[in-house]
Amino acid sequence: MNGSLISNTGPIIALMLIDRLNVLQNLFKKVFIPEAVHNELLQGENIGIGLASYKQASWIQVQSLQKTQDPLIKTVLDSGEASVIQLSLEINADYVLIDERKARKIARNIYGLRVIGTARNLVEAKNKGIIDSVGNVLNKIRDVDIGFMMIFCIMP
């Protein structure tokens, strides 16, 4: 794929939990996240998400927004998703990585961004020999996500 990528929180967490965060490093020249996404990731420590691989990923560049966000987008999307779209517009990123359907639709249809999801990245990673099986990785993500959600839901 190459080029630059701005990622939302969910894909980073999914890849981090299965120790495959390096997929993004291998597919893109530059990987950015807005500060809002960085802060969401750091909040994960409070609920038991291990962030060692994220903290070691010096190739992920945290960026501040330079302009005020569109107030309308902030009413429709969460802070991370809105920030991903805003940062992409500011730095003219090649791709935005968002898995949530509503945010993907807004990024693509309203802002004209090139939106990709985690599954598409895994297909590219398979084609480049970075991973052996898309299905196996997606199953691991699903299994970890289900386990994580069960823990998260029963936490006080």
DSSP type of residue 19? T
Residue 85, token pair as written in the block: 């779209």
The pTM for the full model equals 0.87
Residue 153, token pair as written in the block: 């839901």
| 4-154 topology per CATH | Rossmann fold (3.40.50)
Per-residue pLDDT, 156: 38
CA separation for the pair 140, 82 (Å, rounded): 28
Residue 37: pLDDT above 60?
yes
Cβ atoms within 10 Å of 27's Cβ, excluding its own: 22
**What integer best gives the mean pLDDT of the chain?**
88
Residue 27: pLDDT band (50, 70, 90) is very high
Q: Which residue has the higher pLDDT, 156 or 39?
A: 39
pLDDT digits over 66-101, tens only? 998 888 888 999 999 999 999 999 999 999 999 999
DSSP type of residue 95? E
Task: Determine the average pLDDT of the residues in 109-129.
Answer: 95
Domain range annotation of the chain: 4-154
Which strand (E) or helix (H) includes residue 151? helix 134-154
CA separation for the pair 138, 156 (Å, rounded): 29
Cβ atoms within 10 Å of 94's Cβ, excluding its own: 18
Per-residue pLDDT, 149: 45
pLDDT digits over 126-153, tens only? 999 999 999 999 888 888 765 444 333 4
